[in-house]
Structure formats: structure tokens, C-alpha cells
Chains A and B, each alone.
Chain A
Amino acid sequence: MLEAKMGQPIRRKEDQRFLTGKGQYVDDLKRPNQTYAYILRSQVAHARITGIDISAAEQMPGVVAIFLGKDVEADKIGTLPCGWLVTGKTGPMVEPPHPMLVTDTIRHVGDSILMVVADTKDQAKAAAQACVVDYDMLPVVASIAAARAEGAPNVWEQAPGNLCYDWEIGDRAATDAGFAKAHKIVTIEITNNRLVPNAMEPRAAIGEYDSGTGDYTLWTTSQNPHLIRLLMAAFTLHVPEHKLRVVAPDVGGGFGSKIFHYAEEVLVTWAAQKVGRPVKWTCERFESFVTDAHGRDHVSTGRVALSKEGDFLAMDFDTHANMGAYLQLFAPSVATYLYAPLLGGVYKTPAIHVNVKAYFTHTTPVDAYRGAGRPEATYLLERLVEKAAREMNMDSIEIRRRNMITTDMFPYQTPLAFQYDTGNFQATLDMALEAIDYKGFEARRKEALGRGKLRGLGFSTYVEACGIAPSAVAGSLGARAGLFEQATVRVNPTGSVTLFTGTHSHGQGHETTFAQIVADQFGIPMENIEHSHGDTAKTAFGMGSYGSRSLPVGGSAIIKATAKVIEKGKKIAAHMLEADVADIEFKDGNFTVKGTDKAKAFGEIAFAAYVPHNYPLLTLEPGLEEQAYYDPLNFTFPGGTHIVEVEIDPETGVVKVVDVAVADDVGTIVNPMIVDGQIQGGLAQGIGQALLEEAAYDEDGQLLTASFMNYTMPRAGDFPFFKVGNHATPCTHNPLGVKGVGECGAIGVPPAVINSVLDALWSLGVRDMSMPASPQKVWRAIQEAKAKGTSADAE
């Protein structure tokens, strides 16, 4: 048994229940006399509804009620709010309403038309399908290109040219000056493919209303139940917090898609009161594909100005981001503040300018998805840097080293608002090169060629921003909420601890990591600690889990709360041991009087706090429970190097990932096993984006990849064992020195994959590759290069 200390690879406590099928997910819950809801989704992308006939459906067996958009409106239910106001060059973003159920216009495949509530799910579904919706088809814009085309139809009247905002950051004049001095300018145009999050557990929600007390309860698949309650109280359901309980029990993955406030959460809770019975809704997989917020979907141009020696003099980026049909909760910030500042990367480029235009299209809304903005930035920048190396005839590593921020430069102020507190990009680069056996690569390439296969090696040196977010900074940039975190440490009378957090664990292993921190602080065994989260009736408040914030922000709140407990414990101990508080030390679970063997164990102090017979009651309250809020001082900046080695079969175009070596700096590590797991999962997702996954729409706005038959999810068997290395430079501004690890795998690796594919194909004359690098696409690129007759030698 490992000691419950920081830095120990302790096995995840929660896995016992998950691996034995004892997890309790929303769909596992059954409320007494529960009804089932089915929501009719639009099959077309853009249409005006001319009539809805529910008369036949209403007569069908088991039907309890059918709700239309006008019923929702009549009850003054609000529309789904957007949580971030981006102000662009010409003013605030266009912010159209996002109704729970549409009333007149359908704006994407999957848009919600009506909800049937029935005794069984099958009855609800059958009745929904018996509702007759008449509509007139309207013209569709299903891509950024279509949205920008001359004379394109508008998704929203109030957004001419489908433009949501036109925003910029950086010093235009300084950037232009850098380009004016350039020895060479390298340009790249790339698309960041749209992704469907596909959490293993589909979304679900149960609403319940107690007519005796007037209390509402919502069970939902959420990463942040308090945020959902706040939004429902303030904007949508208009039931105040003290009458509304939101519970997010075990949640089977989110990756961002379960941050957002979805219509179903409001509809089931509202309907429960209307029908006088609990209402349950569980998403089907096809519905997930078209109603869970998607990720990515950018089209960008990047330019770098280089000196003769290969120094980056300036960079300039122009990005078009697809918002989908509505603005999801954080969408406007994902394409701006979580994206553009990261285009500085690990480099000391003195001047950078970024322009972002966001567009509406008739597609499912896009929002934060593992990495949220930072993968898009890393992909653009690291592809550009690689291309610059090729065009400058420089080594890929050399150009990076030459331009990298060095350790003596921290804290480093970037030209794009961020101040990196610490890091060591050279160290992680060296580690990853060693792990992949960089020196042996040419021999491996030759060996593969002997077998008719093409090997490539690709790099990505990245930095990202986590620990979202300093509230004042976020507020000044348009955030409409605070982004602190809260924790409560309740020491029970016999010395065990119940920890309540506002962060929510849905795969991250908080129940272990957080218990480990508390165990380490108090010197008590792990099994004496229980972690409670996900229930607004239990936890005071919190903003939830996303943006790799749970440990840097939530963990900091835990540390603050445990420190308060220890401080109070010292006062109790001083009284019991008849010593001065200043002389009390706390170590390894014991309060001792400095320089003596007089001691009280943690459990004895807890007992005294609740059985205060010998207690300083005049100066100290009984009980031992402390709460802390933590608002971070800055973002945290994890970073590192990801290297991918691929082998391509030129006859089929199949890209096989043969080796992946990464070295990340995520700050101090509490549990290395969990950190490795997070990085490996992120890598699988990142390589998935690069090679397999694509949410592809046709011109009519139909999602062509709306099932697992043609949307390729990464599988364990697709990958080699990842070599995961760490090099920690502790964060300088939070108490644990942690930076966050949830997203860096997915952020760093996609450009390494594509750079590797291009490296493999370079000698054949292939010069560009988009994600996902599917076999057919790679094969076609090879055929086209052959037809053109270009080759490295010919140039």
C-alpha cells in the first residue's frame, strides 16, 4: 500500500465502482412515477415552420403532454444565454436568441421542434414521430466558405454577411514593421477540422417537482451543476437557487460538451411541474451527434516574417471561426481569448497580430472541446513553424531552439497579453528527443524504406493556458461570470474528513487526487477521506470542471481550506496542551509543542472540537469545518514537446503511428498515474483529430458523419504505447505549484502528427496535408504529387 502522500501513483478510488458497474449515472436513476420525454429534432438545416399538427399524436397511447415552442414562450422561459461577450472592432458581437424549442425557424439539423412526454420512452418517440411538421425549405449555408460567399443567405437577419464579430489582438503597426524587414515570408493556409465530442455517456436529464414544498430538482449530465443552477435561476427557468437543486451524479465523460447549459435541462424541469410527474430524457446517439456542441472548425492563414538567420521577426494570423447556428455558452471566447493569445507559442516573436472573424452557419453550435482554442492555435503555429523550417532549409529542431523563450526570460510577457510565469521548453524538448531516439531515426527510416514503407518524424513544441481563470481579467475581457473555485473541508467528530468541492469529476479521478492532497496535509489515511461533489444541495458553490482548472484553481481552494483547519486545530491543541499557539507545530498528523514530546493526534483535536469539554469556548467556536474560495492570480502555462513517428504504406495511404514520445511540464504532480492517464487520453483524442475524426457537412447542412459507422473514434488498438515524460517547473502563483493536465495531450499532438506525415511524404513531393489524414486522402496526395512529378530532388 502506497503512502497517502503527494507524488504517489495511488490507484483511483473511484474505479472500484466504475469497473464493477456500480456507477450511478443519470440514466440509471429512476424516480417514482417517472415519465419519459422525447424531443423531435429537425431533419433539415434551414426551414420556416408553417404548421405543426399534434392532434393525432395527442391521442396516442401513453401520451401525457406535448409541448411546443409557443408553450415555452407563454411561460416566459428564457432563451439559452451566452456566457461571454466578445467586443470586436466594430462593436459587440451579434447575439441571437437560442430558444429551447424553435417557434418559427429551424436553423440546423438537430434543432429542437417539440417535446412529447409519455409513460414510456417508446410511446413518447412514437408520438413525436406522429406529429406533422409542415415547413418551407430555406437556403442553407453549411460552411464558413458558404457563409462568407457573396450574396449568401443570412442565418440571422441581425448578422449581415453571417458575421458574428470581427475581433483583433496584437500590435498591427509593430507586426507590419516586422514583415517589412523580412528576409523571407512563409505563409500557410489551414483548416482545423470540426469534431464531435462523443462522450461515452450520452447526455441525460431528469426533472422533478415537489408540489408540497415547491422545490425543483434536476439531475443532469453536467461538468458544473452550480453553473447550471445559476443560469437556470437567472436566465432560463427563473426558479431561484433556494428552490432549485441541481445534481450531476457520476458523469461518463464530458470533454467540454457537458459544460454548457442545454435546453433539455430546462424543458424536463419545467415540464415536471406542468405534468406533476418526474420527466426523464436520455439522448440517443444520433441526437448526440447533432445536438452536443461540437468543437474546432477554423479556417486560417498564418504568416511568419523571418530574418536571414531564421529568427521570427513577426507573425500575422487571420482566422475564420464557425460558431454554428447559435452562440453556445463559451463559444465566442473559445475562438478569441482562449485561442489568439496562444499564437505566441513557446517563441520570443516580438510582434504578433491576430484577427478573428466568427460566422454563423446552419450547423450544430460549436463550443469548448478538450483544449478549446488552444489546439487550434497550436496546430496553426506549429504547422507554420515547420513550413518555415522547410522553406528556410533549416532543421525543424534548430529553428525551434533558435526562437524559443529561454528560462532566464521568465516571467515572460508575450506580445499577446499573456505573461508566462515559468517553464523550461528546452528541457522538455531534450527529454522528448531522447525518448523517441531522435539520433536513430534516419536508420529507422532507411529500414522502413527497405520494406516499401515511408517513415516520418514530426514535432510540436507548445505552450497552453490553463487554470481558468482570474475573474477580474476574464471579466474585463467579456466573461459574464466569476471563475474562482470553492472547497469545504469538514472534519467529522472522529477525525475522518468529508471534502466538498465545486469542481466536478467526470473521468479525471478527483476523488483520488483530492483525497491525496487532504491526506497529505492532515497526515491521515486516504480511506478516512470522502469526496463529495456534483450536488448543489451539498456543496456551497463552484464553477465546475473545464479548462484544466480543477487542480490549479479547485485544488488551491482545498489547500486554503485545509490550512484554515490546521490553524484552528493549533488553537485547540494549544489549549489542550497548555501551550502557546505560536509553539504548536503540525506534522504527520500530530499537533506537538515545539521541542517537547507533548502531542495531540489529528483525531483527538477533531473530537475535542465536537465534544468541547476541554476547549477554549470563550475565544473559539466548536466544530472543525472550513471553507475557502480561491480566485487565481494568473493563468497557468503547461507546455512541452510532442514527437510522433509514423509509417505510411504508400500503396494504400494508411498512416500507422509507430511511436509517440511526449515530455510535458504540468507543474507539480500530485498523482503521476492519473497525470499519465490524462495525457494518454488527450493524446488519443489529439491523434484522433489528426488521423481519424471529422464532422463533415454537405452543402445542405446534413452531417455526413453522424454515426460510429463513419465517424471514426480512436481506439486503443490504433496506437502504440505512448512514452510519457514529465519535467516540472512549479507554477509560481498557486499554492500547489500545479498547472493543469486535462487538455495538453489533445493540444500538443495534432501538428506533430501532420508534420510527421508530411515528413514521410516529403520525398514524394507532397507539400500539404489536412486533418484527418485518412488513407484515401494520403493516397490521393501521393497520386497527385506523382502526377505532377515533383520531388524533393526536383526542387
Chain B
Amino acid sequence: MENFVFHTPKTVADAVSTRKGTSGGKFLAGGQSLIPVLKLDLAQPTDLVSLAGLKKELSYIKVEGDELVIGALTTHADVAGSDVVKKIIPSLAVLASGIGDAQVRNRGTIGGSVAHADPAADYPAAILALDATIKTDRRTIKADDFFKAMFETALEDGELITEVRFKKPEKAGYLKFNNPASKYAIVGVYVAKYGPNVRVGVTGAATVAFRLPDFEAALAKSFDPKVLDGIKVSEEDLVNERDAKADYRAQMVTVFAKRAVEAAH
């Protein structure tokens, strides 16, 4: 790990301007993705801008209209344990409770997870299925515009996520197939029903989270796992690794989508 300068701003504005003043700085939230990256020397930031001082400002869970609003520094454990989340979008609490292990959930944050855009992370499936908007220090970004590629998002250099807003579905379900070693998703499928529309977000299977229009159309006609049986998921863009080859992942997308529909409430 290379040396870096450590900053401890106290406000969002302060954090953004501090970060702007660095040549190759990074925000540090829960550190559950960034610290491993530093330890493996996969990145050598000149500066770390700690967001710990923003906890008061950016750690919250609230309901505004038909939206569940979660501050960027809210931990996975807070989301998993929140009565508000369990009431408004119970499947999101299920998702958060399945991230990593207790230590990871106690430190890792929703903002960090979304910004990091790990192809096997859980939240990206929720962002897509629950038609979320990502609020930053300067704008709001729609779910469908946010994830660009592996570890790549629509965020500009130095742009800080402040909150994530999820649309409350009529019902929704999330199911994840764990990699047995890392517990990240080999495949995770989030299914959400909004009146006549259905959104399906898939994570883990490809290098970036994606939606499945074929599944969405079929489920919009009938929200029943059986309607997915005949629809083939293309292997083409799926991750093809020794741990889980593309054909296996494709099949698991269908299996877990069906199970997510079954679990939806």
C-alpha cells in the first residue's frame, strides 16, 4: 500500500471541495471495497477523503411520497435492520442482510456499494429493478443511466453520492446465488412489480448489472414464475469463469428470477 494524505471533512460541501483539490484522490466510506483494493495495490490514490464526518448529514432512512430515501452513508446493517425498509420494501432489507458478513454489513455503505459498481455486488440489481434515482452533490441520475461497465458509473470525477431514492413497488423479491467462497453474487435477480409494469434487475451474471426486457414483458402479462420457463437468457454477454461458466449463469438467471417472483411480496 502506498502512502496517501488523509482528509477528514465535516460537510458534503467540504468533502467535495477537498476532493476537487487533490490530483488523484478518492472518497473513503466504509472501506469494505476500497481498503482491499489498496491492500492489493490495485489503486494508489494520492489522497483519501474520509466521509466519516458526514455521517450525521448522510446516514438516514426515510419515506417521501412513494419513495424510500436512503442516505449514502447508511450501512448495509442499518438497511437490513430498518423497520421502515422492512415495511416499505421488505425485499431490500433482505438484500442488505445478505451482503458479505456481519463485519462488512456494519461498515459498508449503500453509497460506497453503488459508486464502486462491483459486477457481483447486490445493490445494482435493486437500483435497476426499483427504478431508483441516485442523488449526488450536483444532480440526480436515473437508474438506467447509472451503471456503465465493470466498476464504471455515470459519476464524474469527484462527484459525491448523497442519497439513493427507491420507488416503492407493489411487490418485489430478490434472490441471490452466492459464490461459495466470496459470498458475492454469482447471480442475483431482483424482480419488482409496478402496476402493469415489471422491472427485472440482474447482477453478478455479467460485467455490469442489467435489465431483462423479455422477462419484464412476460411477467407484466402474468406475474407468475412459470411464464419464464420458455425464455432463454443469452449467454453471450455473461461472465464465463471457471467458478461459474456462462451457460450455468444463464440458467441460474432463470432459476433465480423464478424464485424471486415466487418470493415477491
**Is B243 interfacial (CB-CB < 8 Å)?**
yes
In the bound complex, do residue A710 and residue B181 qualify as a contact, i.e. CB atoms below 8 Å apart? yes
**Is B138 interfacial (CB-CB < 8 Å)?**
no
In the bound complex, do residue B242 and residue A122 qualify as a contact, i.e. CB atoms below 8 Å apart? no
**Is B180 interfacial (CB-CB < 8 Å)?**
yes
For B177, list chain A residues within 8 Å (CB).
Answer: 652
Q: A271 to nearest B CB, angstroms?
A: 25
**Which of A651, A652, A711 is close to B181, meaning CB atoms less than 8 Å apart?**
A711
Among A188-196, A245-253, A772-780, which stretch is in contact with chain B? A772-780
What are the 7 A-B residue pairs with the smallest beta carbon separation, nearest first? A712-B181, A709-B182, A712-B180, A651-B255, A710-B181, A776-B248, A776-B244
In the bound complex, do residue B248 and residue A780 qualify as a contact, i.e. CB atoms below 8 Å apart? yes
For B1, list chain A residues within 8 Å (CB).
Answer: 122
For B181, list chain A residues within 8 Å (CB).
Answer: 692, 708-713
In the bound complex, do residue A710 and residue B182 qualify as a contact, i.e. CB atoms below 8 Å apart? yes
In the bound complex, do residue A692 and residue B180 qualify as a contact, i.e. CB atoms below 8 Å apart? yes
Q: A715 to nearest B CB, angstroms?
A: 9
**Is A169 interfacial (CB-CB < 8 Å)?**
no
In the bound complex, do residue B242 and residue A696 qualify as a contact, i.e. CB atoms below 8 Å apart? yes
Q: A717 to nearest B CB, angstroms?
A: 10
For A775, list chain B residues within 8 Å (CB).
Answer: 180
**Is A704 interfacial (CB-CB < 8 Å)?**
yes
In the bound complex, do residue B180 and residue A704 qualify as a contact, i.e. CB atoms below 8 Å apart? no
**Which of B182, B245, B255 is close to A776, meaning CB atoms less than 8 Å apart?**
B245
Identity of the chain B residue whose Cβ is nearest the Cβ of A691 in the assembled complex: B180
Proximity bits, B225-256, A CB within 8 Å = 1, else 0 = 00000000000000000111100100110010
The count of residues in chain A whose C-beta lies closer than 8 Å to any C-beta of chain B is 17
Would A774 and B180 be within 8 Å (CB), given that A651-B255, A696-B242, A710-B243 are in contact?
A: yes
In the bound complex, do residue B182 and residue A708 qualify as a contact, i.e. CB atoms below 8 Å apart? yes
Within the assembled complex, what's the spacing in Å between the Cα atoms of A712 and B242?
14
Interface residues of A in 695-717 (CB under 8 A from B): 696, 704, 708-713
For A774, list chain B residues within 8 Å (CB).
Answer: 180
Q: B252 to nearest A CB, angstroms?
A: 7
In the bound complex, do residue A779 and residue B248 qualify as a contact, i.e. CB atoms below 8 Å apart? yes
Within the assembled complex, what's the spacing in Å between the Cα atoms of A550 and B164?
59
Interface residues of A (CB under 8 A from B): 122, 651-652, 692, 696, 704, 708-713, 774-776, 779-780
Identity of the chain A residue whose Cβ is nearest the Cβ of B182 in the assembled complex: A709
Within the assembled complex, what's the spacing in Å between the Cα atoms of A651 and B1?
43
For A713, list chain B residues within 8 Å (CB).
Answer: 181
8 A-B pairs with CB atoms under 8 Å apart are A652-B177, A709-B182, A710-B181, A710-B182, A710-B243, A774-B180, A776-B248, A780-B248
Identity of the chain B residue whose Cβ is nearest the Cβ of A779 in the assembled complex: B248
Most-contacted residue by chain B among A704, A711, A776 (CB, 10 A): A776
In the bound complex, do residue B180 and residue A776 qualify as a contact, i.e. CB atoms below 8 Å apart? no
Q: A536 to nearest B CB, angstroms?
A: 36
Interface of A is mostly: loop
Within the assembled complex, what's the spacing in Å between the Cα atoms of A696 and B242?
10
For A776, list chain B residues within 8 Å (CB).
Answer: 243-245, 248
Identity of the chain A residue whose Cβ is nearest the Cβ of B41 in the assembled complex: A129
Interface size class of B (residues with CB under 8 A): 10 to 19
For A710, list chain B residues within 8 Å (CB).
Answer: 179, 181-182, 243
Within the assembled complex, what's the spacing in Å between the Cα atoms of A8 and B182?
40
Q: B229 to nearest A CB, angstroms?
A: 12
Q: B175 to nearest A CB, angstroms?
A: 11
Within the assembled complex, what's the spacing in Å between the Cα atoms of A723 and B112?
43
Within the assembled complex, what's the spacing in Å between the Cα atoms of A52 and B179?
41
Most-contacted residue by chain A among B1, B180, B255 (CB, 10 A): B180
For A696, list chain B residues within 8 Å (CB).
Answer: 242
Within the assembled complex, what's the spacing in Å between the Cα atoms of A223 and B224?
59
Identity of the chain B residue whose Cβ is nearest the Cβ of A780 in the assembled complex: B248
Within the assembled complex, what's the spacing in Å between the Cα atoms of A708 and B177?
18
For B180, list chain A residues within 8 Å (CB).
Answer: 692, 712, 774-775
Within the assembled complex, what's the spacing in Å between the Cα atoms of A652 and B258?
12
Identity of the chain A residue whose Cβ is nearest the Cβ of B243 in the assembled complex: A710
Identity of the chain A residue whose Cβ is nearest the Cβ of B184 in the assembled complex: A709
Q: A163 to nearest B CB, angstroms?
A: 30
Identity of the chain A residue whose Cβ is nearest the Cβ of B251 in the assembled complex: A779
Within the assembled complex, what's the spacing in Å between the Cα atoms of A704 and B252?
23
Identity of the chain A residue whose Cβ is nearest the Cβ of B249 in the assembled complex: A776
Identity of the chain B residue whose Cβ is nearest the Cβ of A713 in the assembled complex: B181
Q: A121 to nearest B CB, angstroms?
A: 11
Within the assembled complex, what's the spacing in Å between the Cα atoms of A775 and B256?
14
Q: B250 to nearest A CB, angstroms?
A: 12
Q: A770 to nearest B CB, angstroms?
A: 14
In the bound complex, do residue B252 and residue A652 qualify as a contact, i.e. CB atoms below 8 Å apart? yes
Given A652-B252, A692-B181, A710-B243, 14 additional A-B pairs, CB 8 A: A651-B255, A652-B177, A692-B180, A709-B181, A710-B179, A710-B181, A710-B182, A774-B180, A775-B180, A776-B244, A776-B248, A779-B248, A779-B251, A780-B248
Within the assembled complex, what's the spacing in Å between the Cα atoms of A453 and B241?
27
Most-contacted residue by chain B among A652, A704, A774, A780 (CB, 10 A): A652
Proximity bits, B159-198, A CB within 8 Å = 1, else 0 = 0000000000000000001011110000000000000000
Within the assembled complex, what's the spacing in Å between the Cα atoms of A278 and B28?
37
Q: A657 to nearest B CB, angstroms?
A: 13
Q: B155 to nearest A CB, angstroms?
A: 25
Identity of the chain B residue whose Cβ is nearest the Cβ of A126 in the assembled complex: B2
Q: A306 to nearest B CB, angstroms?
A: 38
For B182, list chain A residues within 8 Å (CB).
Answer: 708-710
Would A652 and B242 be within 8 Å (CB), given that A711-B181, A779-B248 are in contact?
A: no
Within the assembled complex, what's the spacing in Å between the Cα atoms of A779 and B180?
15
Identity of the chain B residue whose Cβ is nearest the Cβ of A286 in the assembled complex: B40
Q: A692 to nearest B CB, angstroms?
A: 6
Most-contacted residue by chain A among B242, B244, B245, B255 (CB, 10 A): B242
Identity of the chain A residue whose Cβ is nearest the Cβ of B256 in the assembled complex: A652
For A122, list chain B residues within 8 Å (CB).
Answer: 1
Identity of the chain A residue whose Cβ is nearest the Cβ of B255 in the assembled complex: A651
Within the assembled complex, what's the spacing in Å between the Cα atoms of A692 and B251?
21
Identity of the chain B residue whose Cβ is nearest the Cβ of A649 in the assembled complex: B255
For B179, list chain A residues within 8 Å (CB).
Answer: 710
Within the assembled complex, what's the spacing in Å between the Cα atoms of A775 and B242?
12
Q: A689 to nearest B CB, angstroms?
A: 14
For B245, list chain A residues within 8 Å (CB).
Answer: 776
For B242, list chain A residues within 8 Å (CB).
Answer: 696, 704
For B251, list chain A residues within 8 Å (CB).
Answer: 779
Most-contacted residue by chain B among A696, A708, A712 (CB, 10 A): A712
Q: B205 to nearest A CB, angstroms?
A: 14
For B252, list chain A residues within 8 Å (CB).
Answer: 652
Identity of the chain A residue whose Cβ is nearest the Cβ of B245 in the assembled complex: A776
Within the assembled complex, what's the spacing in Å between the Cα atoms of A696 and B243?
11
Identity of the chain A residue whose Cβ is nearest the Cβ of B259 in the assembled complex: A651
For A780, list chain B residues within 8 Å (CB).
Answer: 248
For B244, list chain A residues within 8 Å (CB).
Answer: 776
Q: A630 to nearest B CB, angstroms?
A: 43
For A779, list chain B residues within 8 Å (CB).
Answer: 248, 251
Interface residues of B in 95-126 (CB under 8 A from A): none
Within the assembled complex, what's the spacing in Å between the Cα atoms of A708 and B242?
15
Within the assembled complex, what's the spacing in Å between the Cα atoms of A652 and B248?
9
Q: A242 to nearest B CB, angstroms?
A: 43
Identity of the chain A residue whose Cβ is nearest the Cβ of B177 in the assembled complex: A652
Within the assembled complex, what's the spacing in Å between the Cα atoms of A775 and B179?
10
Identity of the chain B residue whose Cβ is nearest the Cβ of A717 in the assembled complex: B101
Within the assembled complex, what's the spacing in Å between the Cα atoms of A780 and B242?
13
Identity of the chain B residue whose Cβ is nearest the Cβ of A692 in the assembled complex: B180
Q: B254 to nearest A CB, angstroms?
A: 9
For A709, list chain B residues within 8 Å (CB).
Answer: 181-182
Identity of the chain B residue whose Cβ is nearest the Cβ of A708 in the assembled complex: B181
Within the assembled complex, what's the spacing in Å between the Cα atoms of A713 and B179?
12
In the bound complex, do residue B243 and residue A652 qualify as a contact, i.e. CB atoms below 8 Å apart? no
Q: A346 to nearest B CB, angstroms?
A: 33
For A712, list chain B residues within 8 Å (CB).
Answer: 180-181
Within the assembled complex, what's the spacing in Å between the Cα atoms of A779 and B247?
11
